[in-house]
Structure 1
Amino acid sequence: MENKAHALIAGLFTVALLIAALLGVMWFNSDRVERIPYEIATKLSVPGLNPQADVRYRGLDAGKVDTISFDPKSPGQILIRIKINPDTPMTQSTFATLGYQGVTGIAYIQLDDDGSKPLRLASSKQHLARVELRPSLFDNLQSKGAVMLARASEMVEKLNGLLDPENQKTMIKAFSDVSKTVDEYRPIPQQLQPTLRQLPVLTSELNQALTSVTTLSNNMTVLSKNLNTLTAGLQGPDGAVANLAGAVQNIGSVANGVEYDTLPRFNTLATETRSSMRTLNQTLDQFNQQPQSILFGSKALPPGPGEAGFVAPGK
């Protein structure tokens, strides 16, 4: 009887010791940091995310996921409550994305900040502040996967259409034509060899021609400078152009003198000469008609009307 009592006491002591060890472990592992609660509301899927999952701020541990539940006020919306360390810089521009640990598929909350609203985001149990959950890389790939598959299918169809028998014949014929063209152009380099051998001589002659052109250009530059000097000398105050202008002015003065002095005299002389010529012509006419007038003189003119001896015609 006494042995049974000792065995019962030993069993109870063992159970109490195990309970005390478990409580000690739980007490040592318990997190006694007072964290600030936040809430994430999203309609995105959150595969692999579980309560007590890590919350990281740009890779650093910042808290834990508290609970995950459906929003009774908005069908299809998921509410994720997280607890964040007090020293985490939560601002109004802080947002969350889902991250995954390696290939295990275990998800965690990744916090980041774009800096657009640097004001502190206050939160409490009575007034939970909400953090935006943005699509992760996996979500973007999942949403765009259908589009990518559709485009891939379309590309495959186009490739199939491109590689149909008729197009294959056309491409083979094109390759054959290219091969024939290459064969036809293959002798051309050999035919060009004599011309290529003459290129150094042509290059040397071209260099000489360029040297001659350079020399001619230099000579033209000197000639241009000389012409500029000559032009400046001609156009100077004592230059030929100024002297020529003076000579032209003198010629103008002489022409004005001839116009206003000599020409009137010449006109008078011409008038007198015309009168003398008319008189001479009249004398010659009279001589032709009456040659005897040289010896006997010219006949007297018949009397006119009213003069003595006038006889009217017809009487």
Structure 2
Amino acid sequence: MENKAHALAAGVFVALLSLLLLGLASWLTRDTGKRDIYEISTRETVTGLQPQAPVRYRGVDVGKVETIGFDTKTPGNVLLRLEVDSAAPITADTFATLGFQGVTGLSFVQLDDSGKPSPRLVPNKDDPPRIPLRPGLLAKLQDKGEKILDQVEQVSVKLNQVLSDPNQKRLAAALDNVGEAAASVSKLSTTMAAILNAQLGPERVNIPAFVKNADATLTSVRGTSDEAKKAIAEIGDTARRLNAKDGPVDRLAEGAEGLAHAADSFNAATLPRINRVTEDTSRAVRQLGRAVNGINDNPQSLIFGAGPAQPGPGEAGFTPPGASR
């Protein structure tokens, strides 16, 4: 009887302890805050994301993922249902990305915004507002990785073309030419050094005498420069005297102006008269030439006159030249 009583007491104690632990766990995990429902519909993959995964707003826990399923409104999309703390600043500018927790491969929903002023999203349990999901770091790396691989493949193809056998031979020939050119330059520099040493070395050039000659030349140059400065100053004085008021330049300008007026008067009055006289003289000379030609052709016209005019073509009595009469 005592064994049964001890067993019963132990069972009751275990049951009470189990109920106490369940109540403590329920109390510790209770949700004391008010939460709103939001949805995310996306065609991006949600690998590593599970129900009850945390939802964070700029790193702060604000909720959890309630369910993961498929969107009946948009076939092919994945639908995430989120429970977010009502105090979280969810606005129309808020967007979501998928983050990863260390090396475990588990994902969580990261909420953020661009910082622009925007109205808050109004919660609605019957038709929850939707938050857009932008590509995360893994998706961007995947897209960029494909492009990088394509570029690497192109670079490798071009590198193979550059390093082909004909190009390698050309490169080797170019290196040989560069080596020969370097050797030629070295020989040329040695030759030039020898020539300069032979022409300008201590045994050929008296350095002290050369320095003295250079000093004398510089002194002569300074004297010439002073004389040139004096000549320039005299030229400047002469130019000022020429350009002075009522000076030679002004008188020359007045003479040129008078000459221009005289030329205008000549062109306006005298020249037209000379032109008319010239035209009358030309007319008289032409008339005199015609009279002389007529006298040469018919000298008797001076005594008997010019006589009747000869009939022309188409007139009665006209006889073509050379025709028999």
Equivalent pair of 2:243/2:249 in contact (CA under 8 Å): no
Pick closer, same or farther for the CA change 1:245–1:149 going to 2, 3 Å: closer
The one-letter code matched in structure 2 to 1:231 is L
Q: Deviations over 1:109-142 (max 9, x none)?
A: 1112124561222123123111100111211222
Report the Cα offset of residue 4 of structure 1: 0.2
> What is the DSSP-based 3-state SS (H/G/I as helix, E as strand, rest coil) of the residue aligned with 2:127?
coil
> What is the DSSP-based 3-state SS (H/G/I as helix, E as strand, rest coil) of the residue aligned with 1:90?
coil
Q: Deviations over 1:212-267 (max 9, x none)?
A: 6987896687456434522332xx14x34566789999xxxxxxxxxxxxxxxxxx
Report the Cα offset of residue 68 of structure 1: 1.0
The residue aligned with 2:284 is none
Pick closer, same or farther for the CA change 1:221–1:55 going to 2, 3 Å: farther
The residue aligned with 2:240 is 229
Equivalent pair of 2:53/2:108 in contact (CA under 8 Å): yes
Segments of structure 2 that go 5 or more residues without pairing to the other structure are 202-209, 258-325
Whole-angstrom CA distance in 1 between matches of 2:103 and 2:192: 65
Q: Deviations over 1:37-76 (max 9, x none)?
A: 1111001001111122222222232322221111133322
Equivalent pair of 2:242/2:249 in contact (CA under 8 Å): no
Pick closer, same or farther for the CA change 1:190–1:67 going to 2, 3 Å: same
The residue aligned with 1:175 is 175
The residue aligned with 1:166 is 166
Equivalent pair of 1:94/1:131 in contact (CA under 8 Å): yes
The residue aligned with 1:104 is 104
Whole-angstrom CA distance in 2 between matches of 1:135 and 1:99: 10
Q: How does 1:215-294 map to 2 (within 5 A)?
A: 222=233, 225-233=236-244, 236-237=245-246, 239-240=247-248
Report the Cα offset of residue 101 of structure 1: 2.1
Whole-angstrom CA distance in 1 between matches of 2:153 and 2:126: 53
Equivalent pair of 1:92/1:117 in contact (CA under 8 Å): no
Q: Deviations over 1:276-296 (max 9, x none)?
A: xxxxxxxxxxxxxxxxxxxxx
Whole-angstrom CA distance in 2 between matches of 1:145 and 1:246: 89
Whole-angstrom CA distance in 2 between matches of 1:91 and 1:216: 89
Whole-angstrom CA distance in 2 between matches of 1:246 and 1:82: 103
Equivalent pair of 1:70/1:76 in contact (CA under 8 Å): yes
Report the Cα offset of residue 92 of structure 1: 0.9
The one-letter code matched in structure 2 to 1:82 is L
Tell me how many residue pairs correspond in the alignment.
Answer: 239
The one-letter code matched in structure 1 to 2:33 is V
Pick closer, same or farther for the CA change 1:82–1:240 going to 2, 3 Å: same
The residue aligned with 2:57 is 57
Q: How does 1:115-134 map to 2 (within 5 A)?
A: 115-116=115-116, 118-134=118-134
> What is the DSSP-based 3-state SS (H/G/I as helix, E as strand, rest coil) of the residue aligned with 1:119?
coil
The residue aligned with 2:157 is 157
Whole-angstrom CA distance in 2 between matches of 1:77 and 1:7: 57
Whole-angstrom CA distance in 1 between matches of 2:135 and 2:256: 98
The residue aligned with 1:185 is 185
The one-letter code matched in structure 2 to 1:232 is N
The residue aligned with 1:28 is 28
Equivalent pair of 2:243/2:250 in contact (CA under 8 Å): no
The one-letter code matched in structure 1 to 2:76 is G
Whole-angstrom CA distance in 1 between matches of 2:127 and 2:157: 56
> What is the DSSP-based 3-state SS (H/G/I as helix, E as strand, rest coil) of the residue aligned with 1:132?
coil
Pick closer, same or farther for the CA change 1:221–1:240 going to 2, 3 Å: closer
The residue aligned with 2:15 is 15
Equivalent pair of 1:69/1:78 in contact (CA under 8 Å): yes
Q: How does 1:134-153 map to 2 (within 5 A)?
A: 134-153=134-153
Whole-angstrom CA distance in 1 between matches of 2:235 and 2:56: 83
Equivalent pair of 1:57/1:110 in contact (CA under 8 Å): yes
Pick closer, same or farther for the CA change 1:189–1:100 going to 2, 3 Å: farther
> What is the DSSP-based 3-state SS (H/G/I as helix, E as strand, rest coil) of the residue aligned with 2:95?
strand
Whole-angstrom CA distance in 2 between matches of 1:214 and 1:85: 94
What RMSD over aligned residues (CA atoms) do the two structures have, in Å? Answer: 3.6
Q: How does 1:290-301 map to 2 (within 5 A)?
A: none
Segments of structure 1 that go 5 or more residues without pairing to the other structure are 250-315
TM-score by length of 2: 0.62
Bigger radius of gyration, 1 or 2?
1
Q: Deviations over 1:263-314 (max 9, x none)?
A: xxxxxxxxxxxxxxxxxxxxxxxxxxxxxxxxxxxxxxxxxxxxxxxxxxxx
The one-letter code matched in structure 2 to 1:93 is D
Identity across aligned pairs (percent)? Answer: 37
